[in-house]
């Protein structure tokens, strides 16, 4: 009896979930990291990522909180002021001459100024920043959806698989198109109602709310769309996984 109910429950939840995945055009990249590590650790990586992605096949939003939950000032961690000369010049000019190039496998590669990004339809979300170390803080982020920015460059070409974000402090990270398409995946230029402070990643930082803090890159320099993560850093998919952290940081 209980057997029959659980089987029915399994079918009613899993079949639409799989259907949803097929409709959103998911492929291998949705379930498996760009480079699968060896042994049991690699198998666990795939299990973690596939389970997460199956459960999130409806592109559900991460929990959004109320304004009274916001941490003000928002904590800063790691790099708070890249020493990079180009970054310092942009910062001293108030990022007036800063441009974000969108290149690679897009229909019309282009550059966007901060004002152009600010003029795009914006999304504001009060979400928890969840550091893999164990701390978490809630902030109100305002920015342009990454998907919208890529559409400003004409959208991706059929071969596109990952969006790579590069930063002024030398970080780089790849994101599969499933993560890019999520409504809360935004490039934030405002935090708690004010221009994004330098310590939190001015002029622009990425928000991927369903992954840990280290995937939320600060001090954005450029965006490129690629077919494969091979040849970028050590080829594992990003700077964090190059250092041995999980590429998929949903846990």
Q: Which residues bind another protein (CB under 8 A)?
A: 40-41, 43-44, 47-48, 52, 55-56, 60-63, 65, 69, 71, 75, 128, 130-138, 209-212, 243-246, 249-251
Cβ at position 63, least distance to another protein in Å:
5
Q: Phi first, then psi: give them for residue 20, nearest 5 degrees.
A: -60, -40
Residue 152 beta carbon to another protein: minimum distance, rounded to whole angstroms:
27
Tokens 């928890």 sit at which residue?
Answer: 128
Q: How far is the CB of 5 from another protein (least distance, A)?
A: 15
* 169 token code pair: 């402090």
Closer residue to another protein in complex, CB, 46/120: 46
Please, what is the minimum distance in Å from the beta carbon of residue 73 to another protein?
A: 10
- What is the CA 15 to chain-centroid distance, rounded? 27
Quick one: 97 or 133, whose CB is closer to another protein?
133
Q: Which two tokens stand for residue 4?
A: 């029959």
Give 36 or 128: the residue with its C-beta nearer to another protein. 128
- What minimum distance in Å lies between the beta carbon of 191 and another protein? 15
Can you tell me whether residue 206 is helix, strand or coil?
A: strand
Provide the minimum distance between the beta carbon of 184 and another protein in the complex, in angstroms, as a whole number: 9
Considering beta carbons, is residue 107 or 133 the nearer one to another protein?
A: 133
Q: Which is nearer to another protein, 35 or 118 (CB)?
A: 35
Q: What is the largest CA-CA distance in the chain?
A: 70
First to last CA, the chain: 35
- Residue among 75 and 94 whose Cβ is closer to another protein: 75
């Amino acid at each position: 009896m209980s057997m029959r109910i659980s089987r029915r429950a399994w079918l009613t939840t899993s079949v639409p979930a799989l259907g949803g995945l097929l409709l959103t055009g998911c492929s291998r990249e949705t379930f498996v990291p760009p480079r699968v590590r060896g042994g049991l650790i690699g198998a666990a990586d795939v299990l973690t990522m596939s389970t997460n992605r199956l459960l999130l096949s409806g592109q559900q939003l991460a929990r959004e909180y109320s304004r009274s939950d916001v941490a003000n000032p928002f904590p800063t961690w790691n790099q708070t002021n890249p020493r990079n000369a180009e970054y310092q010049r942009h910062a001293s000019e108030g990022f007036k001459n800063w441009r974000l190039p969108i290149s690679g496998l897009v229909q019309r590669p282009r550059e966007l100024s901060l004002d152009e990004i600010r003029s795009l339809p914006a999304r504001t979300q009060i979400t928890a920043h969840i550091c893999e170390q164990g701390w978490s803080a809630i902030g109100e982020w305002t920015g342009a959806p990454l998907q919208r920015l890529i559409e400003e460059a004409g959208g991706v070409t059929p071969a596109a698989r990952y969006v790579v974000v590069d930063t002024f402090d030398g970080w780089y990270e790849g994101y599969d198109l499933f993560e890019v398409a999520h409504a809360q995946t935004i490039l934030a230029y405002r935090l708690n109602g004010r221009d994004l402070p330098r310590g939190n990643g001015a002029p622009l930082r990425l928000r991927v709310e369903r992954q840990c803090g280290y995937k939320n890159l600060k001090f954005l320099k450029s965006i490129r769309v690629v077919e494969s993560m091979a040849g970028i850093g050590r080829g594992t998919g990003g700077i964090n996984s190059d250092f041995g952290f999980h590429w998929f940081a949903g846990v």
